[in-house]
Amino acid sequence: MNKLKIDISFVRDMLNDHNDYSIVSTIIAMGKSMGLETLAEGIENAKQAEVLLSLGCRLAQGYHFGHPVATDDFEKRWLRNSGQ
């Protein structure tokens, strides 16, 4: 295990719910103390991304960064365009 994943259910309301914010910040702090990276799921806006980054969460996924794509579309967009 080298990462802790923060579930979308905590990330979703962390800006409006003190309990969710506390859980998220605690998971990130726990990861740091264990030498693990944290990955936050379900980032939907820039404010969530900004707060997570300020807490030390460097890995994130969600609609704010892009919608899910099929493997073929991913390869066309990212792998073939990069010359691989």
pLDDT of residue 1 exceeding 80, the answer is no
Q: Is the pTM of this model over 0.85?
A: no
User: Parallel, antiparallel, or unpaired: how do β-strands 3-6 and 37-40 relate?
Assistant: parallel
Is the model more confident about 10 or about 84?
A: 10
Separation of alpha carbons 27 and 29, rounded Å: 5
List the chain domain ranges: 3-79
State the number of CA atoms in the 13 A half-sphere of 14 facing the CB: 27
16-55 pLDDT per residue, tens: 999 999 999 999 999 999 999 999 999 999 999 999 999 9
Separation of alpha carbons 56 and 72, rounded Å: 33
- Say what the pLDDT of residue 73 is: 84
pLDDT of residue 12 exceeding 90, the answer is yes
